[in-house]
Structure 1
Amino acid sequence: MSDLWAALGLVLALEGTLYALAPGAMKQAIRQMLELPDTVLRGGGVAALAIGVCIVWLVRG
């Protein structure tokens, strides 16, 4: 369970860094995402999920 909390903390730290360093670019990225069809966003989400699971699987064995 502590690994889950560590992973969530890392996600928040990385996202926070992006918003802190480039808030304008993040706003623009969100605007562009709003214009994408749901299927494209869903495909990107599934790809990110698969990559994340593979990374965890490789690291944790």
Structure 2
Amino acid sequence: MVVTLSAVVLLGILTTAMIRSRTITVAGAVVVFLFGFFVAGTGANKPINALCQAIADALTHLIA
């Protein structure tokens, strides 16, 4: 029997385990979470990518 597991699910499980064992901070978990979506290219990739781009644009306008 072949079991397939998406990268997003695997990274989510690993992130949850690290948070519960307190070996990673919440900020680190957010980075891992975003990495999972960017790498996996799921349907949620476009909204998350747009959100990150909007935040980057907003920070650019605040600094300039």
- TM-score normalised over the length of structure 2: 0.37
Question: 1 or 2 for the larger relative contact order (CA 8 Å, sep ≥6)?
Answer: 2
Structure with the higher helix share, 1 or 2 = 1
- TM-score normalised over the length of structure 1: 0.39
